[in-house]
């Protein structure tokens, strides 16, 4: 949720605060009394993002590589010098990203007054077991959270008599086929190891014979 604050005097409490620092935001007004925010990032008036670890309130030109914030490499091994804002907030910051660490006395409309449920359930076998307190013997397919598919066209949706449902594929599920696959891989590795050792012994034997014949000549 984006909240606009036009009066500069109200958000002066964020000045000289760094990324990952917790701030008590009583200075924003009575509705924010008791709330504690954690700064996660932001960008200045020209759109340059704040970066953790750069202890300045100004912009810095850094040599960035692939995976760095604010740089998308095209070629492999490419590096480029780009402008990045420091991690300390000041009056040049236009957008500040924060998360609520501690809830205050009053509810904020559209932010803390309602809980939005997750659209999708867990997909990994271990997380499904933890959620429903299951053992290894239980069938996890019964506990996967299914979701009903709705048509975008309301006329089509009205005609539906039997709604369709969709379930995710369970990851890291231990089945007889997966156990068989593991056994086969281990057996192949063992076979390869035995083959390599026997070939090495044969080669050593041939090498010894060749050297002995060479000395005789």
Would you say the pTM of this structure is higher than 0.85?
Answer: no
Query: What is the three-state SS of the chain?
Result: CCCCCCCCCCCHHHCCCECCCEEECHHHCHHHCCCEEEEEEEEECCCCEECCCCCCCCEEEEEECCCCCCCCCCCCCCCEEEEEECCECCCCEEEEEEEEEECCCCCCCCCCCCCCCCCCCCCEHHHHHHHHCCCCCCCHHHCCCCEEECCCCHHHHHHCCCCEEECCCCECCCCHHHHHHHHHHHHHHHHHHHHHHHHHHHHHHHHHHHHHHHHHC
- Tell me, yes or no, whether 63 and 141 share the same domain: no
In a domain, 62, yes or no: yes
Residues 12 and 98 in one domain: yes
Domain-located, residue 184: yes
**Does residue 153 form part of some domain?**
yes
Tokens representing 87? 């991690």
| Co-location of 144 and 204 in the same domain | no
Residue 114 located in a structural domain: no
User: Do 136 and 186 belong to one domain?
Assistant: no
Q: Are residues 97 and 14 in the same domain?
A: yes
Are 64 and 144 found together in one domain?
no
Flag whether 71 is in a domain.
yes
Each residue's pLDDT expressed in tens, for the chain with a length of 217 residues: 888 888 888 888 899 999 999 999 998 888 889 999 999 999 999 999 999 999 999 999 999 999 888 888 899 999 999 999 999 999 999 999 999 999 988 888 888 888 888 888 999 999 999 999 999 889 999 999 998 888 888 888 888 888 888 999 999 999 999 999 999 999 999 999 999 999 999 999 999 999 998 887 7
Q: Are residues 96 and 28 in the same domain?
A: yes
- pLDDT value at position 58? 92
Is 38 a domain residue? Answer: yes
Q: Do the Cβ atoms of 125 and 173 come closer than 8 Å? A: yes
The pLDDT value given to residue 117: 84
Q: How many domains does the chain have?
A: 3
pLDDT of residue 29: 85
Q: What range does the domain containing 202 cover?
A: 175-216
Could you tell me if residue 48 is inside a domain? yes
Is residue 111 included in any domain, yes or no?
no
């Amino acid at each position: 949720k984006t909240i606009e604050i036009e009066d500069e005097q109200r958000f002066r409490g964020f000045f000289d605060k760094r990324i990952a620092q917790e701030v008590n935001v009583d200075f924003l007004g009575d509705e924010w009394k008791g709330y504690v925010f954690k700064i996660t990032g932001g960008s200045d008036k020209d759109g340059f993002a704040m970066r953790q670890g750069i202890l300045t309130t100004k912009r810095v030109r850094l040599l960035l590589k692939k995976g760095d914030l604010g740089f998308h490499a095209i070629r492999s091994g490419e590096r480029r010098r780009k402008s990045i804002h420091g991690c300390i907030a000041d009056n040049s910051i236009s957008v500040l990203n924060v998360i609520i660490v501690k809830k205050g006395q009053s509810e904020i409309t559209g932010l803390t007054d309602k809980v939005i449920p997750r659209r999708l359930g867990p997909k990994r076998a271990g997380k499904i077991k933890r959620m429903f307190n299951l053992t290894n013997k239980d069938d996890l397919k019964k506990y996967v959270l299914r979701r009903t598919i709705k048509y975008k066209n309301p006329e089509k949706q009205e005609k539906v008599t039997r709604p369709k449902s969709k379930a995710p594929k369970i990851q890291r599920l231990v089945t007889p086929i997966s156990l068989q696959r593991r056994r086969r891989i281990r057996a192949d590795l063992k076979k390869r190891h035995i083959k390599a050792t026997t070939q090495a012994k044969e080669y050593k034997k041939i090498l010894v014979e060749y050297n002995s014949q060479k000395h005789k000549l």
